[in-house]
Structure formats: structure tokens, C-alpha cells
Structure 1
């Protein structure tokens, strides 16, 4: 894991314990950010084995036969699949380099809690360890109630249930980051 990531675009982690509603929040935020003119890419960490193609399909057969990587494309989409045997955890720095050709305005990283990247931390009362609110990389925290621990003075406090407020903060944060990258 690298201590510093250098990207030509802002990267914002969304960190929370399972069951807090990361994906649900992103489903609400992404259309709002797109309405504001932002192109947003997402990198999602999966804690389990997953497959994007199905047994019996040609892409599955070719990947299983050793194609590395395997890219399947149609008029509507393409998917690049790469086997990573022996890799303990995905390398976020490498995954971010895959986003560079797409020139997004923002890359949201869901999961990857331990990586040293700016974060929007989500916390819902009674789910997970409240110590997540003390992440030194937290730029903002979105909570469903009062914070169970003291928040750093530099951290913006948001209401987890106010999607417009969170989208506005993300948009303003992106603008600030793009100015500092320029």
C-alpha cells in the first residue's frame, strides 16, 4: 500500500461499516453529481470472490482457459476481467491508474478503509466501531444522529439522510480539489 497516491483527478473514499448504507447512498448521490455536470467513476472493493460473467458463456470459457486479461465488448459496454491469483488485497494505486484514460472529474472509492485517501465517513448508530469517525483522512462525516466520539475540528459534519446536502458537499470538495490539482 502506497503512502501517497498521485492522481490527475480527485479521489474520495466512502468508508463505513457493512450495513451502514454506502451503496444506497451512492445510488442517490451519483445521479445528483451527474446533474451537476460531474463525471464520476467508482471503484468498489469486494470482500469475497465475485464473477461478472457466467459459466457457459464464451468470455467465461476463455478467461478460465487462461486469457489474462479478458476483455469483452459490445455496442453498450465493455468489461475487462483480470485474474489476480495470490494477491491478498487489490492494489488501489494500480486500480486508480486504470481510471486515468477515462479522465473522470472524481473517482469515488467504496471500501478500502485502510488506504490513506481523503474520505467521506458514514456512520449509523449501532453499526460498527465508532472509531471510524476518527479516521485521520476523514474530510467529512455523515451521521444518522449525534456523533458518539468527538470529531476533529477540520471535519465537516453532514446528515446521513440528507442526500442533497451530501451531494453539495461532494461537489464543493471536488471543486476545491481540482483547483489544488491545477
Structure 2
């Protein structure tokens, strides 16, 4: 698998509490175990997430007005910017950090290939409102004639689907 160039990108989209994070936390070890270096981008739609803790040094630097704050240790690094960032820029940053597969939670309106997660039957309307669908992951029976469909518990099948798409597709899966 030659993934040294651009990373493969796959979005996991669904409504709130559909199981996106749980699905990703089950997929990541299988994909990493298959030799991929997985990066993840989470969209915090409408919430103003807080990365560091009030009173800690990095929080104090941001509160003092720093536009960008970085912290590093023997085992990890984090950079927090005081501005939103476009998904394409974040994908490139993860690629520069060594990711050859970028899984994106959310960003429904972006154009990357998507697996749609459907928890309830009424969630199926999402299939008509997002672009570039490559598969459906469902909590129940869900058959889309033109799309591969997986049950949410078929983690091995979903991971195999992702690996196969990477092997046969150009960088953006």
C-alpha cells in the first residue's frame, strides 16, 4: 500500500448520539493494527470546546491573548489555535504529522467520501442530504441497492471495507 503522498480521507457522519465516536474508537485499533497511521478530526458543531483546563499554564497563555499555544512532552504534542480551521487544512496538517488515513467525524457538508451512520429509521433522510456517500452503517436493517451496508456491530467488515477502498482508490477514498 503506497500511502506516502496524500492521506486517504473518510468522513463518518450521522445525527447526534448516532454512535459516530463509538464506531471510530472501535475502528481505529483495527486500522492501526493493519499498518495504517490513523489521524482523526472531530467537528464540534456549535459547541465551544475547551481543550485545556482553567488555571493550567496553556489555558493562562490563551487567556492572556496568545493566538496559538503549543504544549509538548516526551509522548505527545498539542497545538490550540484561537480560530476555526477549514477541514482541508486540518487534513493536510495530519498528513504532515504522518497520517495516511484521516477519519473525520462530522462536517456533513464537506465533499469527502462518507459513511453515513443511521441509528433510527427516520435518520434515513440523511442519505438524501449529504454528498459523496460510499456506504451506510446502521443499527437495524438498511438496504441501499447502490451502497454497501453494514450493521454497526460489524466492525471487522467496516474496517475491511475501508482497507479495500484505500488499496483500490486514489488518495481521497
Moved over 6 A (4+): none
Q: Count residues with an aligned counterpart.
A: 165
**1:133–1:151 Cα contact (<8 Å) kept:** no
Q: What does the per-residue CA deviation read over 1:96-130, in whole Å, with 9 as the maximum and x for residues that have no partner?
A: 2211212312100101011111001111124x531
Q: Which runs of 5+ in 2 are unaligned?
A: none
Aligned residue among 144, 163, 169 for 2:155:
163
Determine the C-alpha separation between the residues in 2 that align with 1:174 and 1:65. Answer: 44
Determine the C-alpha separation between the residues in 2 that align with 1:175 and 1:100. Answer: 17
Determine the C-alpha separation between the residues in 1 that align with 2:161 and 2:103. Answer: 14
The 3 A distance-change label for structure 1 pair 39 and 162 is same
Q: Which runs of 5+ in 1 are unaligned?
A: 1-6
Q: TM-score, structure 1 length as denominator?
A: 0.83
Structure 2 partner of 1:19 = 17
Q: What does the per-residue CA deviation read over 1:42-61, in whole Å, with 9 as the maximum and x for residues that have no partner?
A: 00011201111111111111
Aligned residue among 26, 33, 36 for 2:34:
36
Query: Secondary structure, in 3 states, of the residue corresponding to 2:78?
Result: strand
1:173 matches 2:171: no
**1:12–1:117 Cα contact (<8 Å) kept:** yes
CA RMSD of the aligned region, Å? 1.8
Query: Secondary structure, in 3 states, of the residue corresponding to 2:102?
Result: strand
Aligned residue among 111, 124, 127 for 1:133:
127
Q: TM-score, structure 2 length as denominator?
A: 0.87
Q: What does the per-residue CA deviation read over 1:137-160, in whole Å, with 9 as the maximum and x for residues that have no partner?
A: 11011112223xx7352x211122
TM-fit CA distance, 1:34: 1.0
Structure 2 partner of 1:70 = 69
Determine the C-alpha separation between the residues in 1 that align with 2:126 and 2:145. Answer: 12
Aligned residue among 112, 116, 128 for 2:111:
116
